[in-house]
Amino acid sequence: MNSSSLLTPSSSSSPHLQSPATFDHDDFLHQIFSSTPWPSSVLDDAPPPTSDCAAVTGFHHHDADSRNQITMIPLSHNHHNDALFNGFSTGSLPFHLPQGSGGQTQSQATASTTTGGTTVQTQTKPKVRARRGQATDPHSIAERLRRERIAERMKSLQELVPNGNKTDKASMLDEIIDYVKFLQLQVKVLSMSRLGGAASVSSQISEDAGGSHENTSSSGEAKMTEHQVAKLMEEDMGSAMQYLQGKGLCLMPISLATTISTATCPSRNPFVKDTGVPLSPNLSTTTVANGNGSSLVTVKDAPSVSKP
C-alpha cells in the first residue's frame, strides 16, 4: 500500500513502470531492477544503458539486505527523468533509509527534502526544476524567476534599440538609457523647430526681428559667437557644444554644409552630429576657421515665421 502511493504520480508518464493496485516492496523493487535498459524516452540525456544496468545491479546487491528499508523517491510527472537519471548515473545512493517501514509516505516527503542532492519537490512548484546541488528554497526560486523575467524583457528591449547587439548586460542597459534620452531630446528639438520656434532663438542672437533668409548675419553677432565658441573649444568640446546648443546652433564639417546649402529640396539624412534631427532647408550658415586647422561650420535655423 505504501509503495503504491509512490508510483501513482509517475505511472501516467512513465511507460515503463507499472503500478498495480497493491504490491509490496519485493515486487516493486524487483520490477525496477529487472527492467533494463531504460527506454530512451524516459531519460533526458541518457547515459548508455550499460552504466545504468551496472548501477542498478550494484544497487540491487546492496538492496537485497535491507530491502524493506529502501524507499524510492516520489516521482512527479515532470521530474521523474531527473530523479532516476541523476540517481543512477552517479552511482551514489540518493535514497534515504528511514527506520521502520511504518510511516513511509510521510517520511518520504521529509526524506526527499533532507537528502539534498537529487531531491525533487513533488507538487510545490511544478514549473520550477531544482537542479542538483541547488537549494530549493522558495526565495531563490522566486529570485530565479524574477531574473528570468528581467532577462526576457531585456531581450525584447534589445530588438527595439538600434545597436542592440551587445552581449554584455550592463552595456545593453546603458544603450537603452541613452536611447531613451536621445529620443526625448529629439522630441524637444523637434518641438523647438516647429512653427519657427527656433526663430526666436536665432532672432535673439542676430538682432533682426524680421525673417531673413540666407542670412550671413549681422556679422557682429556671428563673430562674437565665433570667438566664444573658439574659446570654449580650446578648453572642452563638450561645453562648446552645449553653448552652441543653447543658442540653437550646431557644428558640422564644411563638406556637409555645402551639400545642404546646394540642396534644393529637404532631405531626410541626419546631418547633425549631435542630434540625429535633419535640419530644415532654410539655413543660414557661418563659417568658422577652427584653431587646430579644420574648419567647422555653424548652422542656424533661419528665422522664418511660419503660419500654419
Partner 1 sequence: MASADKLINTDVPEKDVFAFHFLQSLSNLRKQNPFDTPDQKNYRVRKIKKAAYVSMARAAGGSSRLWSRALLRRAAKDDNKIVRFSRRKRKVTWKISSKRRRSNQRAPVVEEAAERLRNLVPGGGGMETSKLMEETAHYIKCLSMQVKVMQCLVDGLHYNKN
Residues that bind partner 1 (CB under 8 A): 139-140, 143, 146-147, 149-150, 152-157, 160-161, 169-170, 173-174, 176-177, 179-181, 183-184, 186-188, 190-195, 197, 200-201, 203-204, 209, 265-266, 268, 277-278, 280-282, 304, 306, 308
CA distance 172 to 164: 7
Residues 6+ apart with CB under 8 A from 21: 4
Q: How far is the CB of 264 from partner 1 (least distance, A)?
A: 9
Q: How far is the CB of 91 from partner 1 (least distance, A)?
A: 34
Q: How far is the CB of 275 from partner 1 (least distance, A)?
A: 11
Q: Select 54 or 177, whichever has its Cβ closest to partner 1.
A: 177
Residues 6+ apart with CB under 8 A from 163: 175
**Cβ pair 300, 202 in contact under 8 A:** yes
3-state secondary structure 40-98: CCCCCCCCCHHHHHHHHHHHHHHHHHCHHHCCCCCCCCCCHHHHHHHHHHHCCCCCCCC
Q: Select 58 or 281, whichever has its Cβ closest to partner 1.
A: 281
Q: How far is the CB of 184 from partner 1 (least distance, A)?
A: 7
Q: Select 31 or 261, whichever has its Cβ closest to partner 1.
A: 261
Q: How far is the CB of 268 from partner 1 (least distance, A)?
A: 7
SS3 for 250? strand
Q: Select 188 or 231, whichever has its Cβ closest to partner 1.
A: 188
CA distance 33 to 64: 11
Q: How far is the CB of 176 from partner 1 (least distance, A)?
A: 7
Q: Select 44 or 235, whichever has its Cβ closest to partner 1.
A: 44
C-alpha cell at 66: 535491507
Q: Select 33 or 179, whichever has its Cβ closest to partner 1.
A: 179
**Cβ pair 252, 299 in contact under 8 A:** yes
Q: How far is the CB of 209 from partner 1 (least distance, A)?
A: 8
Nearest CA to 199 among 264, 280, 287, 286?
A: 280
Phi first, then psi: what are they for 122, rounded to 5°? -80, -65
CA distance 74 to 253: 74
Q: Select 161 or 254, whichever has its Cβ closest to partner 1.
A: 161
